[in-house]
Amino acid sequence: MKRDGWLAAVIRRCVLGAGMTLVTTYPWAAERIVNIVAFGDSLTAGYGLAANEAFPAQLQRALIAKGLAVNVVNAGVSGDTTAGGLARLDWSVPDGTDAVILELGANDALRGFDPAITRKALDTMLRRLQERKISVLLCGMVAPPNMGAEYGRAFNAIYPDLAAQTGAILYPFFLTGVAADPKLNQRDGLHPTAAGVAVIVDRILPQVEELIARAKGSRWR
């Protein structure tokens, strides 16, 4: 008999023996909360938005509405690069984290960083999280067209390559459905409005649900 079943049986015998009414709902039967860290730059942090409009907050509400027990932490830092993310990874993703949504690289591309540097930083982060048995959803980025075709090919290949190599779940482009749409972006043309974030959340939900299922399978056996 499993531990919970054995303990439930003991409680049942004791309670019924005392002539008391048995309540068959036990604390350990409640669904455990999945702790997710949204780890990224201003697109995660919610630049120009209220805290409850940022990606992590909107995502948590959407997941709870689907009946999922989750806690999504906002670990976004505006202006962060993959090198900056690597430097703060260990303390930004605390013990007890079940899954990470990794969204970094946009600032690397905007600043023209060598794609090899971006690739190495992301690869190191993915492997560190893997060593900690934390499931990862890797959010892809696309290089701006003004960086040239050669740069674009090298940069854009980073995310699918690393997902294939590490087994991370891939969401190919974080701003799908939002990029370049003036109705869904703030005046700078780079950062989504609250409505733009809602589009991102709606589109990424299937991958996040897959992430949650994977986290439960890998950490709660």
- Catalytic annotation, residues: 42, 188, 191
Give the Å distances, CA to CA, from 121 to 18, 48, 79: 62, 27, 16
Phi, psi of 99, deg, nearest 5: -155, 155
Query: Over the range 132-153, which residues count as b (16 or more CB within 10 Å of their CB) and which as e?
Result: eebbbbbbbbbbeeebeeebbe
In terms of Cα–Cα distance, which of 157, 159, 119 is closest to 137?
159
Taking each helix axis from N to C end, the angle separating 55-65 and 194-219, rounded to the nearest 10 degrees, works out to 60
